[in-house]
Amino acid sequence: MRKFVIMGPQGSGKGTQAKMLARDFDLVHISVGDILRWHVQGRTKLGTTVQRYMNEGRLVPDEIVSEVVKWRLDIHDWRYGFVLDGFPRNVAQTEFFLENFDIDAVIAIELSEETAIARMQSRRLCSGCALDYNLIQLRPKVPEVCDNCGGRLVTRPDDTPEAIRARLSEYRAKTHPILDLLREKELIVTVDGTPAPDIVQAEMRRRLGLVAPSTEAREPAGAAKAGS
């Protein structure tokens, strides 16, 4: 059983890295942002409550997010483990997390704000199948059209300059400081998020001492397309 938490500033590629890790080690990728976006898209009661926070780039209240995470982890649908992406993001969430769950490692991706901003501004999402593109590194074959389903590519509502600034400042003020708290209790593995996704992934695995079971039988790690 492998249980990981992945952290990093917005645009650091944590979603991409989490998906690559999950795919090769049969882990379940649990993205809190994806779960919340699902609620917003489906206009559930929870979605209506969290939409404004998300679009403005603010953290959703702790009680709501903690409840979502607890609900998701309680499903226990993983056989080999999970990668939790997007939680915890502040001290209160970290305390809740450490009281309730055991993990093997926290993967912390580091990236300069300058690079993070450039990446978020070039990020596009398919309005049909939600596949992530990046106009710098992962361009669609036809501009503005999804390679996978032909859907129209759109900008994430929280990838506006104001919301990007707000999210990065939330990260700097609330999320980054919890790394010290986590360092006291858990194994933290820090990796540089600047290189290409497969290089970041290889470094992460090396630092975690992970060897994929049948890597040669699968597509190359760099072929994964995903968000931050």
For binding to ligand ADP (CB under 6 A), which residues are involved?
A: 10, 32-33, 36, 53-54, 57-60, 65, 86-87, 89, 93, 158, 167, 228
Residues labelled as active-site residues = 14, 89, 123, 156, 167
Give all strands of the β-sheet with 188-192 in edge-to-edge order.
28-31, 81-85, 2-7, 105-110, 188-192
117/199 with CB nearer ligand ADP: 117
Tell me which residue has its CB nearest to ligand ADP.
33
Measured in degrees and rounded to the nearest 5, phi and psi for residue 123 equal -80, 135
36/191 with CB nearer ligand ADP: 36
11/140 with CB nearer ligand ADP: 11
Give all strands of the β-sheet with 132-134 in edge-to-edge order.
132-134, 123-126, 153-154
Least distance to ligand ADP from the beta carbon of 218, Å? 26
Least distance to ligand ADP from the beta carbon of 131, Å? 14
Exposed e or buried b for every residue in 92-127, given b needs 16+ CB within 10 A?
Answer: bbbebbbeebebebbbbbebebeebbebbbbbbbbe
Bridge partners of residue 190, in order along the sequence: 108
Least distance to ligand ADP from the beta carbon of 112, Å? 16
